[in-house]
Amino acid sequence: MIRRLPDLLIEPVVRMALAEDLGRAGDLTGQACIPEGSRLRAVFAAREAGVLAGVDCVRLALQALDPGATVTMKARDGEAFEAGAVLVEAEADARAFLAAERTALNLLGRMCGIATLTRAYVDAVTGTGARIADTRKTTPGLRSLEKHAVACGGGVNHRFGLDDAILIKDNHVAVCGGVGEAIRRARAAAGHLVKVEIEVDGLDQLDEALAGRPDVVMLDNFSLEMLREAVARAGASSFGRPVLEASGGVRLDTVRAIAETGVDVISVGALTHSARALDVGLDAV
């Protein structure tokens, strides 16, 4: 079951987008062409198949400009749909409806695109035991929505921000003087609920990392052969096996082979930084 995002998290994004579109004087076209008090009934319909995410953006965009708008969801976030499917039915003041149209479509299409791409990655690794995770490579200001869309597609969320967990990257290691020292410092500073992950770029660093007992090891840009060896070494380690995360340049045509090496998680920046917006349109009825 997909958890709904609270309106409190979505509303600021929707209102910012509406304000950007309305500018200094509002919708000049609507004010000029649409008689005051006119009503519009319309549906948000899919032009192509996909996975739904961000449907609440439509409701909040319409009701921000017309609090009396009626919005009926015909599908829920996380559900797959076919081309031609009606996702939302709505009725509102016509001027308000048309002023909110582009914001609603932009956000809905963007989130459905992310959910749909994520579902493709998740389907590609079915049966391997590996999970598909996002990254922090999100659109500034849209992280909560975009990570929600990943969850709608069946993926799992990596950390939301720098305050979620300790993730020691290569530049942290360079400043600390080594993998072992970086983990030691992290362990000394971490609270009992804070996990420690470290990125390694070779098998020599992996051995040093295992000795530090991190919760997660990120295997950055490892070849398939190196990933298999890393899984074997971690499994045989006397220090215990951490969660192994493969990362770096993962593509839809390579993700299955990566999953079959035995890693636990595959993080894919493309889920959010390269997803194509799904084609969704508004049709008057």
Query: According to the model, what pLDDT value does residue 2 have?
Result: 76
Tens of pLDDT, residues 179-237: 999 999 999 999 999 999 999 999 999 999 999 999 999 999 999 999 999 999 999 99
Tens of pLDDT, residues 24-61: 999 999 999 999 999 999 999 999 999 999 999 999 99
* pLDDT band of 265, cuts 50, 70, 90: very high
Contacts by 121-124, CB closer than 8 A, 24 or more apart: 121/153, 121/155, 121/252, 121/255, 121/266, 121/268, 121/271, 122/153, 122/154, 122/155, 124/252, 124/255, 124/256, 124/259
Q: Catalytic: which of 169, 213, 251, 276?
A: 169
74 among known catalytic residues: no
The CATH number for 7-116+275-284, chosen from 3.40.640.10, 3.40.50.300, 3.90.1170.20, 3.40.50.720, is 3.90.1170.20
Query: According to the model, what pLDDT value does residue 164 have?
Result: 94
213 among known catalytic residues: no
Q: Is the pLDDT of residue 168 over 90?
A: yes
Q: Is the pLDDT of residue 18 over 90?
A: yes
Query: According to the model, what pLDDT value does residue 4 have?
Result: 87
169 among known catalytic residues: yes
143 among known catalytic residues: no
Cα 238 to chain centroid distance, Å, stands at 36
Q: What is the CATH number of domain 124-273?
A: 3.20.20.70
* Region(s) of the chain under CATH 3.90.1170.20: 7-116+275-284
Q: Catalytic: which of 199, 208, 245, 264?
A: 199
195 among known catalytic residues: no
> In this structure, are residues 242 and 216 in contact, taking their beta carbons and an 8 Å threshold?
yes
Q: Catalytic: which of 15, 76, 136, 137?
A: 137
N-term to C-term CA, the chain: 32
Q: Catalytic: which of 74, 102, 195, 256?
A: 102
Q: Catalytic: which of 56, 93, 134, 220?
A: 220
* Region(s) of the chain under CATH 3.20.20.70: 124-273
